[in-house]
Amino acid sequence: MLVGADVVHLASSLLQHGPARLTQILRDMERWMDEREYVSIAQLKGSMSQKNLADPSSIARASYLRVLDSFSPRPGVWS
C-alpha cells in the first residue's frame, strides 16, 4: 500500500489462520499507522511511491545495498 497498491494479498494468511485473522491484521495496521502518524489509508497509499520521493534513485540504491548486505556465499563456491 505504501507504494500505491489497491489490494493487499491476504489469501494465504486467511487460509492458514481463518477469517478471524483479519481482526489482528486490522489492529496491527492501525497501530503501525498511529506510530508513523498516518491518519488514513488514503494518506498512506502511495506515500513511498518513487513519484512521491524527492530522490527516486535512493530506492534503487537502498535495494542494491540490501542485496549486497544479505549476500552469503555457499561454502566452497568462492574458494
pLDDT tens for 42-55 read 888 777 666 666 77
Return the domain boundaries, the chain.
11-70
Q: How would you write 33-47 as a 3-class SS string?
A: HHHCCCCCHHHHCCC
CB-based contact 14:21 (threshold 8 Å) = yes
pLDDT tens for 17-38 read 898 988 998 899 899 889 989 8
Total-model pTM? 0.52
Dist CA 10 CA 21 (whole Å): 10
